[in-house]
A and B are shown apart, each in its own frame.
Chain A
C-alpha cells in the first residue's frame, strides 16, 4: 500500500487503542500531506485527543503503526516524537509560569550542565525562528505576565526550537478571543509557507473551514471521512461529525421575564493572593429569563459563580435573594444557598460537580446528602438513593443506566446529565449553570439545551456562563460580557452579534468605538 512517491509528512496505519471497555480509536488511517494545514474534527470524546497522544508518545497504540516522511517510526515516549520532528501545543499550556520565555523554550533541551552556553545559543536560535516565522516575542518576558495568545506562541516556539516539522495543536482556540484566534491562524499560515505541516485538532467547524487545506472527521473512535476543505461545507462536516442532521439553533421563544428573584449589587471578591477577581459586579436575575455571561475564560466568571452559589464568601457587596439579604457580614455557604432553593451546575464537573471515585447514585446526591429524603436516623438510605438515581437515569437518558457504575466511567455528556438532573430535580428558583456542554457530545448538547430552555419557560431564573459564544447566543435572553473581573457590557439578544461580543470580550469595544468616532471626526 505504501507509496513512497507521495510526500506525506505523517501517515497513520490502522491505529487502534482501547481503554477497558471503550474503544477510543479503531483502525485509524490518516495521511497528512507535507506542508499543509490538516484539520481533525470531531465531537468531544470522538477520540481525537487519544489519537494525538498516540502520535506524541503519551500512549502506545494497541495495533497499527506510524510513518513519518514515509519511514516507519516507533514512538514510545514524547522524546521519540520530538526526535521524529513532531511538536505538540497542548490545550492546557505546559509552561513554567514564573520562568522567562527563553527559559521555558530551553527547558528540557538545555544542552550541557552549565546553563549559560545553552541559553546564549538558544537566544540566537530563537531570534532566527522568530524572524523566519514572524513570531515576535520578548524572550526575556516572564511567561505569566504574557496574555494567553502570546503564551501559546511560546508553546509553538518551543516545538519549533526542538526541530518540529510537524506541529500538532490540540484545541488551540479554547482560551483565545476571536481576535487572538484569527492571529493564531495567520501564524499557522506563515508556518505552512515555511514548509511546516500543521495538524489542527478542534471541534469548531468555523476554524476548520477558515484555515485548513484538508480535513478528516472522527466519530466515535473512527475516522469517518477525509475531505478537501475547499470542497466541503459546514453542514456536511457537522453531519459527518454527528452522524445525523443537527440543528445548530435552539428553538426558543422570546422570554417573558417576570419579577426579579436575585439581585446582586457591587459584588467584589479578592482572592488569597490579594488579586481582585470580581470588581463591583451587579446583576439582576428575573424569573423566566436566561442571562448569559460571555467572556474569555479566566475573567471572573468562575469567581462570580462561586460567590453567587456560596462556595467562596464575597469580599464586599450584597446579594438579595428572595427575602434573604446576603453580604460579607452575613454570608451563606453552599449548603445554605441550596436551602434557599438555588441550584448550581458547576463549570468543572470533575473537580466540583461530581466525586469521580463515587458510584453514580452517590454522586447523584452530592450537596443534598444531608436531606431527610436520603437519611435514616444514623444510616443513609441506600435503596432510596439508588432508586431515585435509576429513575433519573431513565428520565434523562443517561447511558449506561447503571447507578452503581463509578462516575469516572461515564462519558462527559452522561456525567453532565447526572449533574444537571441532580440540580434541576430539586426544583430550584435560581439555577446557575457553568459550561453546561463542555466536553459533551453534540447529541447530548441538544438535549441539555432543550432542558435549560424548558426550565426557563417554567419560570426559573437562569444564569448561564459559557466560553462558547454560540451557546450563549443560542440560549440567552440577555448577554453580559465580563472582562478582568468586571462587567464591560450588556446586550439584549436581539442586538448581539459575534463581532460585537468578541470585541467586548477583548475589552476593545469601547476603544474601537472611540477610534471610529475619531475617524469619523477626522473625515468630517
Chain B
C-alpha cells in the first residue's frame, strides 16, 4: 500500500512557517499582556536583526553557533541517536581551542595556530561525546541520559579548570588571559574592508565560513558516502542494519564523534573568534537550542542554516527589543525564544496531520 503523497514544500516550508507564526502570535499576546504594542515590538525585533549591517552581522554570528550545534544534533539524529549533550561538547570543545591558543599564541603564527585550534575544538568535543557513545554502544546505557549528565560534568569540570588552573594570575574574574592577536580568528568586517566593502563592525568572524563548509561536508557525508549510507540505515531501521552486516556499535561511536566534534566547533566561534580568552558559560544554551534548530531544519543542512539564522535573529533582535522597550525585559525575550522552540520543536507535529490531510484530500479530489 503506497503512502499518501504530500507536496515536499508543505513539509519543508509551510509547516515550519505556520509553527513560527503561531509562536509569534502567542508572543504577541504576551507582549500585549504587559502593555506594549506587539506590532511595534515585532518592528524592533526585525529591524534589530536585519535592519542594518551590524545587526545582520550579529545575527549571523549567533547563527554560526546554531549551525554547529544544529548539525551536531542532526548527524546523530540521522543515525537514530539523540545527542542532548551539545552544550557540554561545545563547552569542552572551547577548552580544546583555549588550550591550543594559550599554549601557542606567543610562539606560533596564526596559520599554525588556526588549524591546530580547529582540530583541538573537534577532538575535545568528540572526546566528550565518546564516553556516552561508548557507554551506549558497548554497555547499553541510554545516550539521552548520559549526554544530559555529561553537560553537568562538563560545566563543573570547566569551573574547576578555569578557576584553579587557567585563570589569569592576580585577577578576580574567572577568565584566562587574553590571547595574543596571532590566535584571533579574523573578523569578516576586517576581511572585507580592504576590498572596499563595509559590512559594519560586528563579532561575525571566519567561524561562519567554517560553519558553512561543515554544512556541505555533513551533506556529502550523509547522502553521498558509504558511511552516510550506514548511518542512515542504522537511523531508519536497526534490524535492517544488522541484516546488512553493519557494525551498529562502531557506527554509533563514530557518529557521536562527528556530532561531538561539530558541537565543539562552537568554541572556534566563541573563544577564538570573539572572546579571545577562555571563560565560563560561553555556550549560553547554544547546545540545547541546537536541538530545536535541527528539528526545525528537518535535519537537513540547508534547513539548519535557515533555522539557525532565525534563531540568530531572535537572539540579536531580542536584545535590540529589550533595549528599545524598557517594559520588555531580557526575560520576555527568552520567553519569545522559548515559544519558538516550543511550537517548532516540541509541538512541531501539532498541525502536521491536519495540514498533510488537507493536501492529501486535495490531491485525491
Contacts and interface: CB of A to CB of B under 8 A. Distances in A.
Given A20-B363, A334-B243, A369-B230, A382 B5 contact: no
A21 B240 contact: no
A357 B224 CA distance: 16
B223 to A, nearest CB: 9
A358 B236 contact: yes
A128 B236 CA distance: 48
A408 B3 contact: yes
Interface in A1-56: 18-22, 24, 45, 50
A338 interface: yes
A311 interface: yes
Given A369-B230, A379-B220, A311 B3 contact: no
A122 to B, nearest CB: 35
A88 B237 CA distance: 30
Interface string B1-28: 1111100000000000000000000000
A269 to B, nearest CB: 15
B244 A18 contact: no
Nearest to A368: B244
B201 to A, nearest CB: 40
A358 B246 contact: no
A380 B3 contact: no
Contact of A352 (B232, B239, B363): B239
B191 interface: no
Interface in A372-418: 374-375, 378-380, 382, 406, 408-411
Contacts of B224: 379-380, 382
Contacts of A338: 245
B327 interface: no
Interface in B9-61: none
B364 A62 contact: yes
A21 B2 contact: yes
A50 B1 contact: yes
A464 B123 CA distance: 49
Contacts of B244: 334-335, 366-367, 369
A355 B237 contact: yes
B48 to A, nearest CB: 40
A380 B231 CA distance: 14
Interface residues of A, number: 47
Nearest to A363: B240
Contacts of B220: 379
B1 A24 contact: yes
A170 B182 CA distance: 74
Interface residues of B, number: 26
Contacts of A62: 364
A310 B1 contact: no
Contacts of B226: 369-370, 374-375, 380
B242 A311 contact: yes
A366 B240 CA distance: 8
A219 interface: no
Contacts of A333: 245, 247
B141 interface: no
A91 interface: no
Contacts of B1: 19, 22, 24, 45, 50, 411
Contact of B3 (A19, A355, A382): A19
A352 to B, nearest CB: 4
Contact of A344 (B2, B229, B233, B243): B243
B281 interface: no
A428 interface: no
A382 B4 CA distance: 27
Contacts of B243: 309, 311, 334, 344, 346, 352-353, 366-367
Given A335-B246, A352-B239, A379 B225 contact: yes
A408 B3 CA distance: 7
Q: Which of B220, B224, B242, B243 has the most CB of A within 10 A?
A: B243
A47 B2 CA distance: 12
B236 A351 contact: no
Given A20-B3, A336-B245, A378 B225 contact: yes
A351 B246 contact: no
A358 B236 CA distance: 9
A45 B2 CA distance: 10
A354 interface: yes
Nearest to B361: A62
A351 B363 contact: no
Nearest to A336: B245
B209 interface: no
A196 B224 CA distance: 58
A429 interface: no
Contacts of B3: 19-20, 406, 408-409
B108 interface: no
Contacts of A411: 1-2
Interface string A100-130: 0000000000000000000000000000000
Interface string B198-242: 000000000000000000000010001110011011001101101
B360 interface: yes
Interface in A129-144: none
A356 interface: yes
B12 to A, nearest CB: 16
Nearest to A375: B226
Contacts of B232: 355, 357-358
Contacts of B360: 20
A362 interface: yes
Contacts of A379: 220, 224-225
B353 to A, nearest CB: 13
Contacts of A354: 240
Contacts of B225: 378-380
Nearest to A17: B364
A205 interface: no
Contacts of A240: none
A334 B233 CA distance: 15
A354 B239 CA distance: 10
Contacts of A348: 239
Contact of B245 (A310, A378, A409): A310
Nearest to B360: A20
B237 A351 contact: yes
Nearest to A312: B242
A313 to B, nearest CB: 11
A353 B242 CA distance: 10
Contacts of A409: 2-3
Interface in B100-157: none
Contacts of A334: 242-245
Contact of A355 (B2, B236, B242, B363): B236
Nearest to B220: A379
A444 interface: no
A148 interface: no
Contacts of A367: 243-245
A261 interface: no
B229 A369 contact: yes
A22 B242 contact: no
A62 B365 CA distance: 10
B230 A20 contact: no
A20 B2 contact: yes
Contacts of A50: 1
Contacts of A45: 1
Given A20-B363, A333-B247, A351 B4 contact: no
Nearest to B228: A380
A23 B225 CA distance: 37
10 contacts: A20-B360, A21-B5, A338-B245, A344-B243, A366-B233, A367-B243, A369-B229, A369-B244, A375-B226, A411-B1
Given A379-B224, A380-B229, A411-B1, 10 more contacts: A19-B2, A20-B5, A22-B1, A22-B2, A312-B242, A334-B244, A337-B245, A351-B240, A355-B232, A369-B244
Name the 4 nearest CB pairs between A and B, nearest first: A335-B245, A334-B245, A367-B244, A20-B4
